[in-house]
Structure 1
């Protein structure tokens, strides 16, 4: 079954770096890395300098960077993918992933 999103708040940014679809975006307008504060999720691939939408609050679809359990607090890995992260979390996983490259639904708190 395809993962679906239910976004409540979307914003726009000017990308300061390339961003891959379904990856976390930082507040600087680039793909998020481990330990960075997360603005939201890019629903589409974005090139540097492009104006892009970012899903900020609600349920977003995010690529996993590894196994993620339902209900786990998630944050970004070095590639901007969702991983379990209780310290720098942006939301909770609503679906599970068993390996990297799968998609999970994440309830973003904004």
Structure 2
């Protein structure tokens, strides 16, 4: 079974269709592609590493006093995003995409 999976994986990696799909997924080399990777993948993780605990405490404190449904949803979303701190996995994905962007 392992041999079968291994040969299938090699076929997928060496397939020209796989190369076309990877090139289609690659972001355009423009300022918007660069900013998209940095702003949506790298900066939030860095913020979570540095100020994640403080943002969580703030959101929990404000959640108690919020009266509006949207404010409650906003503060709950902040707690979900930042209570664990940053994710090394997400940061690694962002860095890998940034490296892939330049090559």
Instruction: Give TM-score, length-normalised by structure 1.
Output: 0.21
Higher RCO (CA 8 Å, separation ≥ 6 residues): 2
Give the number of the structure whose alpha-carbon radius of gyration is greater.
2
Instruction: Give TM-score, length-normalised by structure 2.
Output: 0.22
Tell me which protein shows more strand as a share of its residues.
1
